[in-house]
Structure 1
């Protein structure tokens, strides 16, 4: 990321609070951190309270990735206060005040690393300037610590709270005058700090969208067609309206877009339980003629036919792959596949909405509030300023809540009962039926080897979902994918088949499947070359250099990739392909995604087709600073557990007649505590700005797992989820 470009005039304003204290309100246009370079505004605020305590705004959506703690940590560090003096409050959603507030793509840390620190440094500078004026001394003679301004020469001291009234009159500092701390001076950044919401979560206090309660609130359930996209024909609405406790039964006319609004029937009651019970009596006639042809078995047949024919389109073609394959000493070929997956967030989708006086207020656990604002505005014909979005903590996002369908649905229902707050809450069946699924995919791969075992060419025919020649959301494969970016002769092709299922981003989107395919197949290639996969990867990475990414994607630094590979090999005491005890195996994988470099080793035992005694080693490079080591450890551990769950727990989404078959966790299980391995995590520090950690540790664990299974059993796993009994 380029450094943020900030305007001195708009950077900071300060005002006195009623009853004492000082509010710093930062308004900083950022051109370099947004697509197209258009001006955006980032707002963070600090309240200096009497008693020398400080409230720092947590501006980003908190989905468990720790942003509500880490961003205030950055501000507090440069503000030069003790963390024990700080309280954190969630802001509402407003990009004109706070800038980007989305949580996705592991972008929060790189996007906010400089602006948050500048915000803290600017506030500190104004307080120091106020003290210097009062004491009539140079600013250079003053220091700060723990929210106290000290004069070295006289020994005088003044708290930030005492300086606040005068600081309100100080002109904002020029950005060029701000001196940020040397990392060696950090006292908050780099410390393990528990999440600011953890005590409330443990105590069961209301934080999440599901907890919202407003006076006079009605509870809503929403019935839509099980075959996604089916259109409403008729229903026994009057019969359901007559049921005890039912306040409203409303027809919802959709726009045909799953991420906005599909046809449905909303039932409102004073309790969610009675509304959901009344739903059992609802009988809807749907037109599903356009959806009934979609099924898992048909997809498999279409993919098999596509893989045997000519691809629909090229993703990239470079060098002379045809000649390289013709001259190869050996060609390795294989097919890999993986299924649709659901997100399975523990907190079901929900939103609360209150429509009155031509405006709407929404309480929602969203990862992408401004996209939700746009959708609600379009659905209700409202200007953006007529929509207020209050951010609640998110009980699991993983990309699902980047889509805001539930927000639009709640708004559409509330608009039909003006003046009444309405909470829409999915049940678990809704949660699985109405997901935005990780798309399935099929790959036909080939690699050419010369006589020395060097990879000379690479081909991948990728079949996935899309329409009109355009891949569905999260169904694309980047031209810069490893190893294609490392080789001279490459052909990446793609064929598309249609689906009625809406697709979406799942934690480490794209990479969570493509790593399994590429690193699993490369392990086969390495074996054919008489090498182990780490050796093959290091050979392909070559000398340290930068390989440009696709579009705005980050460049791959081959030296950083090699650094994490060598680190994890040392951590795990990797012994190459040397034999382990019978039934014991080790697998390795590397992947670069979301600007993070991760290499992982899995060791396990396979007994009677059952996997046990698993251990995982993880080495990652996310730059020169780990903001919160405790949270970083948890993010990596969670990524490993998520990835193993995708491969081992039996997760897959299947369809019949256009409808999803899975309706609860029994059909789409997640990793259990007793299956969690021992996980060892270390970071390789490099001279690069810090990047995000929510996603890049996940992709390598899946191929490392299947490569370990091969090491233990000789069996290649080319289809997910893993089934060793087949």
Structure 2
């Protein structure tokens, strides 16, 4: 934390106050300049009367606000995206502050609750920055323009003779200066200029963007202040736990509810019927008490008769046997077919076959799932406090599950103790609402760590059966990937109005035909076979990419080795000399080959690739990946002892995420965190399924990376390019695992084809 951090913090609204009353209080009296951004991106004055009217200035602006400037010059900015540790509560307000021309020390940031006027409020897929960056620039610039106009009118001079600087407007000719606070009343009655009347700053003049700024909540996090969902306290609040069937997809038949209700502190215990939606309100048993401790203590005495359902037949050993059988049978779905793979393999100078496997894993966020809910017994309206990544989806799931109009569901967004995609799901929110409806009191539902690990929406496991071939010149001529994945059976409406069921692969568990190197290989066959299961699956950091990068770039390295080629040279040759590759790309964005070539060449230069001689047991590996709009290449250097102990000595990361780094401190933190999380995920997490149950229960049997095992050096390099700004939470993660595994091969000659790495014997002699 830097020395200014205590000056950078915002005072958020009390958790127990309503969004509407807070915004009314903060904008009351005409002492604030309020500008809002509609969901369609248009800039507007959000006032109850006509923009520019004295009546509007004298009362308040509409609550759909992002900027509020008080008469003391303090600027309050609303952060609309959920903060899950990615730093968005700091970085996006920085964009507004830059264009507004205000000192960061004069800025206060508050968390906005769910409000349709804010537009999209989800935090996932590294979308928060790219979807808001341009609009937030325009928002800040519009406010600055109005302040300049207000000063010019006050002085009776042309606005062109005035300029904004560090929270004030200056008139050079007369040496006059008015602080923003002094201009609030005059600016508040001005009409909002249209886009043509607003000039954005030249990036060369930025004072704030690209600098290192500490997180606005850093001091509160360190001091243990109540910021997170698990910290929420309400008057008269009860505490609940929710027990689900150990077998995924099962449901309760009966329970010793009378005995549980008789226990000290217990207020109620009951069965919740739930739904068949694996990602919604699952059936279970709720215990409500006067404290979390009493609820958990009662839970230990709970005896439930379960209907385990079809999921009881699931086991990882069974899935593996099914996958191996499926790889040899016809009937796979073709995701891409180019050329003639069989003929190309038959004519190849060298061929390689390999099977890659990875398990189901949990998100294991530090803060277990929780939600506080209040249901009004009079009108059924709901008020929620939740650490969610997707508040709109949470509201929608509550509305559809309980048949409540969305406008009667108010959701306060708390800070989240980690997300990684888990909090894009909203099951814990509907759990809390179901319990609050029954007990008719404020209820905080808290999952235990065991609940979190065993009833997660997991990252899907997978099996890849690969074949590849290179010609006599060492060029890739054939690529075949038969992917055996996992899918849930879901109901869907058919075109004729009837209802049917389909197998839907889990999030990130479907193979795109556009993934590298599919579009670059003349003879390519990508196939997919789904295995039906009752295991709930959901987005997991960099969905799909987090495992596909490991599979693809590990196997590419195998082919490069078979061809006797340098791994970077081999990849550059596959990429080719085109600037773009046609295809739908990720989210409809074409693959920019030139950008990927540049990061790959840059990482070779920054890591001194090929210029260093490694001793036996040491080596370097490379990988790249295009993920969530970001182009990233990484080189990992490792040391493996003869006994097989791994140490990652150095990781060099080069990213192209567009024209501007918003917060350099946050960007470096995202790179370092992705590398560490990527290494942790490579090395340890694995969930075993036996008789439909997740075997692991807590960190004693589901370990994560410890501080002594983190890479010794992590170097982050950013290429500044003339492309739209992207996010960073996802793109750096995928290349880490293959880069490390390729480095292990360079050091020991051993290939890692099964995750986690802790299962592998890396010893050598």
TM range (shorter): over 0.9
2:598 is equivalent to residue 563 of structure 1: yes
Q: Is the 8 A contact 1:14 1:22 kept in 2?
A: no
2:338 corresponds to: 318
2:382 corresponds to: 360
2:392 corresponds to: 370
2:300 corresponds to: 280
Q: Is the 8 A contact 2:39 2:117 kept in 1?
A: no
2:221 corresponds to: 201
2:260 corresponds to: 240
Report the CA distance between 1:495 and its aligned residue.
0.7
C-alpha separation between the residues in 1 aligned to 2:64 and 2:468?
50
C-alpha separation between the residues in 1 aligned to 2:167 and 2:86?
28
2:626 is equivalent to residue 592 of structure 1: yes
Report the CA distance between 1:326 and its aligned residue.
2.9
Q: 2:471 is matched with which residue: 450, 456, 468?
A: 450
Aligned in 2, Cα 1:44/1:585: closer, same or farther, shift over 3 Å?
farther
1:107 corresponds to: 127
2:739 is equivalent to residue 691 of structure 1: no
Q: Is the 8 A contact 2:503 2:530 kept in 1?
A: yes
1:388 corresponds to: 410
Q: 1:409 is matched with which residue: 431, 449, 457?
A: 431
Q: Is the 8 A contact 1:14 1:168 kept in 2?
A: no
1:70-109 matched pairs, under 5 angstroms = 70-94=91-115, 96-109=116-129
Report the CA distance between 1:80 and its aligned residue.
0.8
Q: Is the 8 A contact 1:602 1:617 kept in 2?
A: yes
Q: 2:552 is matched with which residue: 503, 518, 538?
A: 518
2:665 is equivalent to residue 602 of structure 1: no
Report the CA distance between 1:42 and its aligned residue.
12
C-alpha separation between the residues in 2 aligned to 1:602 and 1:472?
30
Report the CA distance between 1:50 and its aligned residue.
2.1
SS at match of 1:322: helix
Report the CA distance between 1:470 and its aligned residue.
3.3
Residues 622-676 of structure 1: CA deviation (Å, up to 9, x unaligned): 011100011000101110111111111x210111111100100122111110001
2:445 is equivalent to residue 435 of structure 1: no
SS at match of 1:570: helix
Aligned in 2, Cα 1:15/1:688: closer, same or farther, shift over 3 Å?
farther
1:143 corresponds to: 163
Q: Is the 8 A contact 1:462 1:495 kept in 2?
A: yes
Residues 266-285 of structure 1: CA deviation (Å, up to 9, x unaligned): 11111100110001111110
Aligned in 2, Cα 1:673/1:42: closer, same or farther, shift over 3 Å?
farther
The number of equivalent residue pairs is 702
SS at match of 2:310: coil
2:751 corresponds to: 716
C-alpha separation between the residues in 2 aligned to 1:432 and 1:639?
21
* Unaligned stretches of 5+ residues in structure 1: 1-12, 33-40
C-alpha separation between the residues in 2 aligned to 1:210 and 1:367?
15
Q: 1:210 is matched with which residue: 222, 227, 230?
A: 230
Q: Is the 8 A contact 1:190 1:628 kept in 2?
A: yes
SS at match of 1:382: coil
Q: Is the 8 A contact 2:422 2:456 kept in 1?
A: yes
Residues 437-477 of structure 1: CA deviation (Å, up to 9, x unaligned): 11011111111211111111211000011243532232111
C-alpha separation between the residues in 2 aligned to 1:17 and 1:130?
19
C-alpha separation between the residues in 2 aligned to 1:691 and 1:371?
23
Report the CA distance between 1:168 and its aligned residue.
1.3
1:36-55 matched pairs, under 5 angstroms = 44-55=65-76
Report the CA distance between 1:25 and its aligned residue.
3.1
Q: Which moved more, 1:59-68 or 1:256-265?
A: 256-265
2:698 is equivalent to residue 664 of structure 1: yes
Report the CA distance between 1:83 and its aligned residue.
0.5
Aligned in 2, Cα 1:86/1:495: closer, same or farther, shift over 3 Å?
same
Report the CA distance between 1:720 and its aligned residue.
0.6
C-alpha separation between the residues in 1 aligned to 2:196 and 2:714?
44
C-alpha separation between the residues in 1 aligned to 2:517 and 2:423?
31
C-alpha separation between the residues in 1 aligned to 2:648 and 2:533?
39
Report the CA distance between 1:330 and its aligned residue.
2.0
Q: Is the 8 A contact 1:624 1:690 kept in 2?
A: yes
SS at match of 1:291: helix
TM-score (norm 1): 0.94
Q: Is the 8 A contact 1:14 1:25 kept in 2?
A: no
Q: 2:136 is matched with which residue: 116, 139, 153?
A: 116
2:209 is equivalent to residue 189 of structure 1: yes
1:637-676 matched pairs, under 5 angstroms = 637-648=672-683, 650-676=684-710
Report the CA distance between 1:19 and its aligned residue.
5.0
SS at match of 1:549: strand
Aligned in 2, Cα 1:91/1:613: closer, same or farther, shift over 3 Å?
closer
2:28 corresponds to: 18
Q: Is the 8 A contact 1:560 1:597 kept in 2?
A: yes
1:725 corresponds to: 761
Residues 664-704 of structure 1: CA deviation (Å, up to 9, x unaligned): 01221111100011111111111111101001101111001
Report the CA distance between 1:258 and its aligned residue.
2.7
C-alpha separation between the residues in 2 aligned to 1:213 and 1:692?
33
Aligned in 2, Cα 1:249/1:290: closer, same or farther, shift over 3 Å?
same
Superposed CA RMSD: 1.9
C-alpha separation between the residues in 1 aligned to 2:308 and 2:231?
35
SS at match of 1:129: helix
Aligned in 2, Cα 1:624/1:402: closer, same or farther, shift over 3 Å?
same
Aligned in 2, Cα 1:492/1:16: closer, same or farther, shift over 3 Å?
closer
2:535 corresponds to: 501
Q: Which moved more, 1:546-555 or 1:585-594?
A: 546-555
C-alpha separation between the residues in 2 aligned to 1:686 and 1:136?
42
1:35 corresponds to: none
Q: Is the 8 A contact 1:231 1:288 kept in 2?
A: yes
SS at match of 1:167: helix
Q: Is the 8 A contact 2:71 2:184 kept in 1?
A: no
C-alpha separation between the residues in 1 aligned to 2:94 and 2:233?
30
2:271 is equivalent to residue 254 of structure 1: no
C-alpha separation between the residues in 2 aligned to 1:60 and 1:717?
39
2:37 corresponds to: 27
Q: Is the 8 A contact 1:512 1:699 kept in 2?
A: yes
C-alpha separation between the residues in 1 aligned to 2:295 and 2:586?
48
Q: Is the 8 A contact 2:221 2:227 kept in 1?
A: yes
C-alpha separation between the residues in 1 aligned to 2:133 and 2:743?
37
TM-score (norm 2): 0.90
1:7 corresponds to: none
Report the CA distance between 1:324 and its aligned residue.
2.1
Residues 34-76 of structure 1: CA deviation (Å, up to 9, x unaligned): xxxxxxx995511111211111111100011111001100011
SS at match of 1:415: helix
Residues 246-288 of structure 1: CA deviation (Å, up to 9, x unaligned): 1111221101223211111111111100110001111110111
2:49 corresponds to: none
SS at match of 2:28: coil
